[in-house]
Amino acid sequence: MNQLENEALYELLRIAVDNNGSRRSLSHNLSSEAWKKLHIECIKNLLVGVVYRAISLLPREQQPPLEIAFQWASEAETIKGQNRLLNAEAARLTELFAAQGRKTAVLKGPANACLYPDPYMRQVGDIDLWVDGGRKSVLDLLKNMGYEIPEKDLVVPHHVHLHPVENDIPVEIHFRPSSGIWNPFSGARLLRFLEKEIQNVERVSEGFCVPTMKFALVMQLAHIQRHFVSGGIGFKQIIDYYILLVHSTEDDLREISNRLSEFGLLHGCRALMWVLGNVFGLDKSKMLCKPNEKSGRKMLAVILEGGNFGFYAAERLKDSSMNVLLRWLKHRLFFVRKMWYSPFEVLCRELDYWFHFIKTIGLRIKTRRFSLWSMYHNKANSDRRKSLCEK
């Protein structure tokens, strides 16, 4: 998209997340072609439901052509239904583990959606459910409950996937409250904080439990940083964080702001605050730290190029005609080029890659996978997301 179309997307996002209704129109009308491009961009960033809320608030003369509007409305209605299913499944799992005497908390997803102006507008993903007890205890419990644990999941230090999948909803069971960050020193301090804070959960009207706002601010900032360094993030994660900040108290913001450096999150947070200020108009009183324009502009460019979790940037690296070694070198360079974001964090990520690469040689031979990425990702899902963008 061109700059004018990008600005239109930002305006729509600001309208969508505005609780006060102070903005309900675009600064200029869009052509039919521009609306088609915006629709594709929303698919790439999983923003269809969010932006549809903004569209429904626009004056009639600024709304998209009927053909696009009907398609968008249909997709938004599907997202609403998926949110209801996800909430019901999260509530069911909460009761299921409560019957086993286990405390649980939904870490992201449905927990974030509860805070949106419309709790059904956020595009759903999987359910990240923390279960109390630690790794060994939780794994033993899952086996006793009849769940299968794939061998490839056993090398992941913080979660496993539930098998079989119930109601076609993927679920990650977390025995640690976060995957942390790549820096092992700051990461250890961060995890100690999260492991203590996760004990304070609250049941919401949807029937599941959520962690405190302080937990959410730290854990989801670490989640953004980890994924940004590993591949990329999309506007979906950025909106989630905007919503968290808007709902945070002054005391929570002050406490987390004072600990950003301790947790290894300060450099990345400065870039994020610039994006939130310039795309969403986040008030400075709600920012965790002073924004950094230089790194913020780079972060925004990565988001626009890569889509959700950098998926489309990663797809461009998968040139089947390219020599395998050359393609692998391009992947390594792709990550190293993010040194500007947080040099030590990127270095730690590369060291972790090599450690994991060596550690999983046997498993990759067994599963006939050369790369770590292909071992953990489902090709069918990859092809589905790619086809959506090409429509």
In whole angstroms, what is the distance from residue 236 CA to residue 48 CA? 10
What pLDDT is stored for residue 389 in this prediction? 41
Please report, in angstroms and rounded to a whole number, the separation of the first and last CA atoms in the chain.
16
Q: Is the dihedral of CA 352, 357, 359, 364 positive or negative?
A: positive
Cβ atoms of 265 and 219 within 8 Å: the answer is no
Contact (CB, 8 A) for 79 and 123: yes
DSSP strand pairing (202-203 vs 171-174)? unpaired
Contact 80, 42 (CB under 8 A): no
Q: What residue spans define the domains of the chain?
A: 1-64
pTM of the model: 0.87
In sequence order, what are the beta bridge partners of 131?
104
Burial (CB < 10 A; 0-12, 13-18, 19+), residue 375, is middle
pLDDT one digit per residue (tens) for the chain, 391 residues? 888 999 999 999 999 999 877 788 999 999 999 999 999 999 989 999 999 999 999 999 999 999 999 999 999 999 999 999 999 999 999 999 999 999 999 999 999 999 999 999 999 999 999 999 999 999 999 999 999 988 878 878 899 999 888 878 999 999 999 999 989 999 999 999 999 999 999 999 999 999 999 999 999 999 999 989 887 889 999 999 999 999 999 999 999 999 999 999 999 999 999 999 999 999 999 999 999 999 999 999 989 887 776 666 555 555 555 666 777 777 777 777 787 778 888 888 888 887 877 877 776 677 666 555 455 554 444 444 444 343 3
Q: Which helix (H) or strand (E) holds 129?
A: strand 127-131
Position 333 scores a pLDDT of 75
207 Rama class: left (phi>0) / alpha (psi -120 to 50) / beta: left
Contact status, residue 36 vs residue 42, Cβ threshold 8 Å: no
Predicted local confidence at residue 325, as pLDDT: 74
